[in-house]
Structure 1
Amino acid sequence: MWHVPQMAAILWDFGRRTPWLPRVRPYRTDLRVMTRITRAGWVRVLHDARGPAAFIARDGARIHALYVHPRAQGRGLGRTLLDDAKHAAPRLELWVAEANREARAFYDAQGFAEGQRSDGTGNDERLPDIQMIWQDERCAP
């Protein structure tokens, strides 16, 4: 639980650096949600010499969050977290903001394919988003 504030800081840093992403929740709410999902066992955190550097929040096949601290980007931490999730589940899905071109390219490079699109009514930010799906080829019908 000690890493929850550092995870939140990674999330908030992304929000500050992303002009198209509106701030829709109070910081306290983010901390409560991070605490809850950590207690539920959904979170895996990778550390570097300076502390938490990346985290994934996954409930079964559903990835709710994957963030890498700016100081650690480009070192394969996001790919490592995603590979771990792929080994744990034969199918993964997530929703990514349509405007988040970098994340979309990352997931595409990791073998995810577009499932469907929405107008954003199902997410807190009300931004159009895209469902991305990965299916283990060994388990595909």
Structure 2
Amino acid sequence: MVRPDARAAADVWLRSYDAALPTVTRPRSDDAVRDYFRDAVVPLRETWVAEAVGGGGIVGVMVLDGATLSQLCLDPRWRGRGIGDRFVGLAKERGPEGLTLWTFQVNKPAHRFHERRGFVAVEFTHGSANEEREPDVRYVWRP
């Protein structure tokens, strides 16, 4: 992904986060999230996007950091259309030895999504290691 797309990817992340996690306070402002995507995510991690056909812009983002699926975000209007499935399939192709990911414990739809795709919850924490200080869960997928 080229850096100009970083802002659009960050905006998808922001919309996804706000829709999926209304009770979780974000520790970074919108502009700080955009800067993070521009300066750290896009140049340093394997970043994939889904674009709407016909010029509708970026509607999904997946970020891989080695064997970690660090971000999987969809514009809320684009959920349920198979984009998440395609992203997870791609992640499994890119990480055939296995993958890990973290999600917040309150994000039950994410738990169901990942469990249906073969991920297993292996660790629950009180959130002391994440910026939000929100209890989270680590999932692992093994082929």
* Aligned partner of residue 15 in structure 2, secondary structure: helix
Work out whether residues 11 and 34 of structure 2, in 8 Å CA contact, stay in contact via their aligned partners in 1.
Answer: no
Rounded to whole Å, the distance in 2 between the matches of 1:60 and 1:92 is 9
Work out whether residues 48 and 62 of structure 2, in 8 Å CA contact, stay in contact via their aligned partners in 1.
Answer: yes
Q: CA RMSD in A?
A: 1.2
The structure, 1 or 2, with the larger RCO (C-alpha pairs under 8 Å, 6+ apart) is 2
Stretches of structure 2 that go unaligned for 5 or more consecutive residues are: none
Stretches of structure 1 that go unaligned for 5 or more consecutive residues are: 137-141
Change (3 A) 1:41 1:125: closer
Rounded to whole Å, the distance in 2 between the matches of 1:16 and 1:113 is 25
Residue equivalent to 1:139: none
The code of the aligned residue for 1:123 comes to: N
Work out whether residues 102 and 138 of structure 2, in 8 Å CA contact, stay in contact via their aligned partners in 1.
Answer: yes
The CA deviation at 1:41 is: 4.1
Rounded to whole Å, the distance in 1 between the matches of 2:78 and 2:17 is 17
Question: % of aligned pairs identical?
Answer: 24
Residue equivalent to 2:126: 119
Rounded to whole Å, the distance in 2 between the matches of 1:126 and 1:41 is 24
* Aligned partner of residue 73 in structure 2, secondary structure: strand
Q: C-alpha offsets along residues 80-124 of structure 1, whole Å, 9 cap, x if unaligned?
A: 011011011121001110000000100000100011111000111
Residue equivalent to 1:22: 25
Say which is worse superposed, 6-15 or 58-67, in terms of deviation.
6-15
Are 1:68 and 2:71 an aligned pair? Answer: no
* Aligned partner of residue 19 in structure 1, secondary structure: coil
TM-score normalised to the size of structure 1?
0.90
The code of the aligned residue for 2:76 comes to: P
Q: C-alpha offsets along residues 40-70 of structure 1, whole Å, 9 cap, x if unaligned?
A: 2420011113111111111110111100112
1:103 to 107, 110, 133: 110
